[in-house]
Amino acid sequence: MAKNNLNKLLIVEDDTGLQSQLRWHFDQFEVIMASNREEAINAIRLHEPAIVLQDLGLPPDDEGVEEGFKCIQEINSLAPATKIIVMTGNADYENAVRAVAMGAYDFYQKPVNPDTLDLILERAFHIHQLEKQNRLLQEQVQSPLDGVIACDAQMVKICRMIEKLAPASVTVTLTGESGTGKEVLARALHNCSPRKDSRMVAINCAAVPENLMESELFGYEKGAFTGANKRTLGKVEMANHGTLFLDEIGDMPLPLQAKLLRFLQERHIERLGGREEIPVDVRVICATNKDLQAMVRDGSFREDLYYRICEMDIHIPPLRERRGDKLLLARHFLKKAAQKNHSSVTGFSPEATEIIESYDWPGNIREMENRVNRGVVMADDKLVGAEDLGMVQEQELNLNLREVRYKAERAAILSALTMTDYNISSAAKLLGVTRPTLYDLIKKYNIPLSSS
């Protein structure tokens, strides 16, 4: 077997004689050696080993065990998935237990028994591989629709609704705040439909000047106006046999609303400057961040057009209301940004994770993607910190201890439940409480006991 394909094992040991013995014994692994904390951290960054076998007593001798504890903390911060096995003296059980409490996977007491140590390492490698496979499976499960990353019950329900609507020809309008992913869902609807092999053509009604909107939508004939040097197809005609996506439909001028209504009713168009009626077979999907019903009441949006485009109205909830989606999306964007920027970043620090969960995200998914992209570029280590995201000072200072405690505890419980796929036993272990205590806390904070 080529050495690059072997499981990587980092051994942190300052005794050169024991180093040689261990290297020889573990020849089935790719062994990396380190004599002190600094060398160990450099090896973690460079090699990303699955397992670390670390002597708890590291140089300098005047610090000894405390230096070993510092090494455990730094490794956990840089590589949370790495399994640390601590080697201690025969009479050092108390420090071994402390090391496990700080995040070490297991401990082994000297003198070295090769067979016992082999079993411990074999189990650690097995657990590491299972956790890696589990993370990959979770990523697959958490894409309920092509291109959509979500585990929130509301979003999963919307995805199921889109799957049902895809084969039909009803006009769908997606509503919700800016940045909630309306265009992503519109594209998913198109990709699930029988029209997926034809084009989806998008036009932003708020971005096109009013005097150009009609020609953008319906096209124009040569000579229709000054500068019209040739026949030009509009967006509607370009989407023939496919899907037309009208983004920000609430910003469409009233005069053009009447012409759009006529097209939706009769399914044919006339180019600007032309007299020929051109039949068009197109499915229409609309999106807006405005309250169309309120606009109908105040006369800024046609009531007959409202009922024509809202044959099916789907409201997309803002990110702050999506339980479990914040960290899920943040990790998705981190992985995507890390690949794009050839970065070795693997996750978020505990502080960054807490802020991601507690922040309201007024800019929704668009803001999150921008923040995470920034964080990946700015991060110095394997983990993106709160400062890298530019979010350390962004939360308002709240000195109400009861409110701070309530928000922090509820966020921690939700995070633990999300990370463990609502396994109560696993979540209780993460939180450091018993199962009955966790059930009491879930009841106290009115947290639903299911992710669906």
Distance CA 213, CA 254 (A): 12
Statement to judge: residues 118 and 245 lie in one domain:
no
Statement to judge: residues 232 and 325 lie in one domain:
no
pLDDT higher than 60, residue 289: yes
pLDDT band at 400 (very low <50, low <70, confident <90, very high): low
- pLDDT at position 142, please? 56
- pLDDT at position 433, please? 87
Statement to judge: residues 274 and 301 lie in one domain:
yes
Between 294 and 131, the higher pLDDT residue: 294
Ramachandran quadrant class, 400 (left: phi over 0; alpha: psi -120 to 50; beta: rest): beta
Residue 220 Cα distances to 237, 272, 420, angstroms? 11, 4, 57
Statement to judge: residues 80 and 163 lie in one domain:
no
Specify the amino acid at residue 404: V
pLDDT band at 452 (very low <50, low <70, confident <90, very high): very low
Statement to judge: residues 231 and 312 lie in one domain:
yes
Domain assignment present for 13: yes
Domain assignment present for 194: yes
Widest CA span of the chain, in angstroms? Answer: 96
pLDDT higher than 90, residue 409: no
pLDDT band at 446 (very low <50, low <70, confident <90, very high): confident
Stretch 37-45: mean pLDDT: 91
Statement to judge: residues 164 and 296 lie in one domain:
yes
Between 135 and 440, the higher pLDDT residue: 440
Statement to judge: residues 257 and 355 lie in one domain:
no
Stretch 254-276: mean pLDDT: 92
Stretch 435-446: mean pLDDT: 86
pLDDT higher than 50, residue 138: yes
Q: Has this prediction a pTM greater than 0.75?
A: no
Stretch 146-159: mean pLDDT: 87
pLDDT higher than 80, residue 396: no
pLDDT higher than 70, residue 2: no
pLDDT digits (tens, 9 = 90+) for 67-79: 999 999 999 888 8
The percentage of residues in the chain with a pLDDT greater than 70, rounded to a whole number, is 93
Residue 440's domain is classified under what CATH number? 1.10.8.60
pLDDT higher than 90, residue 161: yes
Domain assignment present for 452: no
Between 161 and 5, the higher pLDDT residue: 161
pLDDT band at 4 (very low <50, low <70, confident <90, very high): very low
Picking from 261, 288, 317, the residue at the C-terminal end of a domain is 317
- pLDDT at position 394, please? 43
- pLDDT at position 450, please? 58
Domain assignment present for 378: yes
pLDDT digits (tens, 9 = 90+) for 13-28: 999 989 999 999 998 9
Mean pLDDT of the chain: 88
Picking from 286, 317, 348, the residue at the C-terminal end of a domain is 317
E-strand spans in 150-305?
Answer: 172-175, 200-204, 243-247, 268-269, 278-279, 283-288
Using H for helix, E for strand and C for coil, what is the string for 157-169?
HHHHHHHHHCCCC
Distance CA 319, CA 368 (A): 9
Helix, strand, or coil (residue 34): strand
Helix and strand element counts for the chain (H, E): 19, 14
Statement to judge: residues 112 and 207 lie in one domain:
no
Statement to judge: residues 387 and 432 lie in one domain:
yes
Domain assignment present for 115: yes
- pLDDT at position 1, please? 36
Domain assignment present for 355: yes
Distance CA 360, CA 320 (A): 5
Residue 81's domain is classified under what CATH number? 3.40.50.2300
Statement to judge: residues 236 and 297 lie in one domain:
yes
pLDDT higher than 80, residue 403: no
Residue 189's domain is classified under what CATH number? 3.40.50.300
Question: How many domains would you assign to the chain?
Answer: 3
Picking from 317, 349, 383, the residue at the C-terminal end of a domain is 317
Q: How many residues comprise the chain?
A: 452
Domain assignment present for 451: no
What does 121-163 look like in DSSP terms, one character per residue? HHHHHHHHHHHHHHHHHHHHHT--BTTB----HHHHHHHHHHH
* Domain range enclosing 364: 321-444
- pLDDT at position 354, please? 82
Residue 200 Cα distances to 186, 197, 240, 302, 420, angstroms? 9, 9, 9, 25, 38
Statement to judge: residues 82 and 198 lie in one domain:
no
pLDDT band at 348 (very low <50, low <70, confident <90, very high): confident
Stretch 33-52: mean pLDDT: 92
- pLDDT at position 432, please? 85
Between 41 and 450, the higher pLDDT residue: 41
Domain assignment present for 450: no
Statement to judge: residues 173 and 297 lie in one domain:
yes
